[in-house]
Amino acid sequence: EAQVTQNPRYLITVTGKKLTVTCSQNMNHEYMSWYRQDPGLGLRQIYYSMNVEVTDKGDVPEGYKVSRKEKRNFPLILESPSPNQTSLYFCASSFNGGAYTFFGPGTRLTVL
């Protein structure tokens, strides 16, 4: 089954404690992205990647890091999480960067 998986699905942590949210896709897609979704603000792109070792900032990259060492994986790293990073996070992948973008199930992060 074609899918994007994220782990963990739910995470409660404290300010400053480094965390990683993993993302993996099994569709051999070149493009992968991370989004955060907040009430009234919609989905905002954090980072995107066009291929292995090729990443670029989206609209809200501050406080986040990403890496793309393998085509299938695109982890999101919060080196020092803060309460304003409490949000619902989605990983997504696509063949051509636009149409047929598949989203993962989401990770609800709470930073205390």
Partner 1 sequence: QKEVEQNSGPLSVPEGAIASLNCTYSDRGSQSFFWYRQYSGKSPELIMFIYSNGDKEDGRFTAQLNKASQYVSLLIRDSQPSDSATYLCAVTPLSAGGTSYGKLTFGQGTILTVHP
- Residue 44 or 65 having the CB closest to partner 1: 44
74 contacts partner 1 (rule: CB under 8 A): no
CB of 40 to partner 1, least distance (A): 6
Among 21, 24, 25, 32, binds partner 1 (CB under 8 A): 32
Residue 9's closest CA among 75, 76, 106?
106
Q: Considering CB under 8 A, how many residues would be counted as binding partner 1?
A: 28
Q: What is the residue-wise DSSP string for 42-105? A: EEEEEEEEEETTEEEE-S--TT-EE--SSTTB--EEESS--GGG-EEEEEEEESSSSTTPEE--
* Positions in the binding site for partner 1 (CB under 8 A): 31-33, 35, 40-45, 48-50, 56, 58-59, 90, 94, 96-101, 103-106
